[in-house]
Amino acid sequence: MSELFVYRSQMPASADVVYGWHARPDALTRLTPPWENAHVVERSGSIDRPGSRVKIRLRAGPFFQTWTAEHTACEPGRMFRDVMVAGPFRRWEHTHLFIPDGNNKSWLEDRVEYEFPLGRFGKLVGGAYTKRRLTRMFAWRHRVTAEAVGQAAQGTLTNPD
């Protein structure tokens, strides 16, 4: 039983600029909220190369887990997709969309399709918690992105953290 989470925000820069910011080697690190206790430990390739992977070490309470995602699709300036190949969910597919809205505006949309481990029991135990956590994390990510691309558009790109 698949779940769909969507988070969408307007960005103060073109879709190409927002995509370009996400393509930076440090973007994932900058987009990881400090409360997530997650760190990139290995990376191969980039978002525009299907087959590229990123490995993240997560801490949840006293437990550690490694999450490996593989980039499976990319349309530069418009979208890229990563799929979990190892991690806590039965299925996790994250599509990042960059939707033009005039010359200097766009929409950033994150679409996550996922399935809990343990089927309905997993959803019962983790459903509401997962949605709250995703909402909080993507609100952070979109704010960081908007600040960064807004500063880039003004020629004053700095670290938003």
The pLDDT mean for the chain works out to 89
Q: Is there a domain that residue 22 lies in?
A: yes
Of all helices (H) and strands (E), which one includes residue 16? Answer: helix 15-22
Is 52 a member of any domain? no
The CATH number of the domain holding residue 124 is 3.30.530.20
Whether 129 maps to a domain, the answer reads yes
- Within-domain flag for 37: no
- Give how many domains the chain has, as a whole number: 1
Report the C-alpha gap between 27 and 20 in whole angstroms.
10
Please indicate, yes or no, if residue 123 is contained in any of the structural domains.
yes
Task: Please check whether residue 54 lies inside any domain of the structure.
Answer: no
Summarize pLDDT for 17-68 with one digit per residue, the tens: 999 999 999 999 999 999 988 999 999 999 999 999 999 999 877 888 999 9
pTM value is 0.88
In a domain, 67, yes or no: no
Q: Tell me the residue range of the domain where 85 lies.
A: 3-31+72-153
Distances (CA, A) of 117 to 1, 13, 77: 10, 38, 33
Strand partners, 71: 82
Q: At what angle do helices 15-22 and 119-153 cross, to 10 degrees?
A: 110
